[in-house]
Amino acid sequence: MSDKQTLTLARLINIAALFALLGVLAGSLHLQFGAGEQPCPLCLVQRSAMIGLAVGPAMNLLWGIRARHYALSILAALVGGAGSTRQILLHIATPGDPGFGPAVLGLHLYTWAFITFLVGVAGCALLLMWNRPFELGDTGVLGTRHWHRTLTLFVTMWVLLWVLVDLIIIGIAVIPECGLGMCPDDPPPGSDVGNILGWTLVLGVGLVAAILAYLVDRRMGETPQTQSERELLAQ
């Protein structure tokens, strides 16, 4: 495998990881806005850890693939996994407890969150054993202006901007529920917009991110190509 192919594969893995996390976040946001299921404090810990788990791949794409970026994702996954485990044990300890929130394929969302964090830790550990991407001196999308010639810049910026917008939505949505104090342990149901409109809003965020990514792609495509970029692309 050439250096260009190695770097492309490593970037694709990071992009795929971000899209997978976006799928989890989309489901949780739909339950909140589409079905009116307000997140509990432990749910918010897990949701925040999901964003933290996305930080490593995002940094890899922006500034280059580094071992410390994967390490940050592992630390976030450990925090989220602790929150998931705590919530699982709380409901196991009470006989007849139906669990918090709806179940998906027989498992509650906090159980799926635990599985997601476990997969995230295992995935980062495996990628840390793949030394070659670290040796190539990758500078990421911000350092390689014609990066889209080896991997579509549009897709990269799309997933990064989608994660950013979801982060902003999560931060703003906490204020009506918790204010400036502690969040309620058992929050009352919030207002919902319905299943179809809920998914429309959640996926609409992706459409907005896609439009912004297209504008960024066009802008960066106008930047002159450097000698180092020509050498990398020629491999």
pLDDT of the residue at 140? 83
Contacts of 80 (CB under 8 A, 6+ apart): 45, 46, 48, 49, 50, 52, 53, 113, 116, 117
Q: Where are the alpha helices (DSSP H) in 93-194?
A: 109-128, 132-135, 140-143, 153-178
Measured between alpha carbons, how far is 141 from 72 in angstroms, rounded to an integer? 19
pLDDT of the residue at 7? 85
Pick the closest to residue 229 from 149, 132, 144 (CA basis). 144
Average pLDDT value for residue range 222-227: 52
Pick the closest to residue 55 from 35, 75, 34, 27 (CA basis). 75
pLDDT digits (tens, 9 = 90+) for 54-78: 999 999 998 899 999 999 999 999 9
pLDDT of the residue at 192? 74
Predicted confidence (pLDDT) at residue 210 exceeds the cutoff of 70: yes
Predicted confidence (pLDDT) at residue 10 exceeds the cutoff of 60: yes
**At residue 14, what is the residue type?**
N
Hey, where are the domains in the chain? 3-234
pLDDT of the residue at 223? 55
**At residue 177, what is the residue type?**
E
pLDDT digits (tens, 9 = 90+) for 113-167: 999 999 999 999 999 999 999 998 888 877 665 554 445 678 888 999 999 998 8
pLDDT of the residue at 120? 95
pLDDT digits (tens, 9 = 90+) for 12-50: 999 999 999 998 888 888 888 888 788 888 888 998 899
Measured between alpha carbons, how far is 207 from 197 in angstroms, rounded to an integer? 15
Pick the closest to residue 42 from 81, 94, 95 (CA basis). 81
Percent of the chain with pLDDT over 90: 33
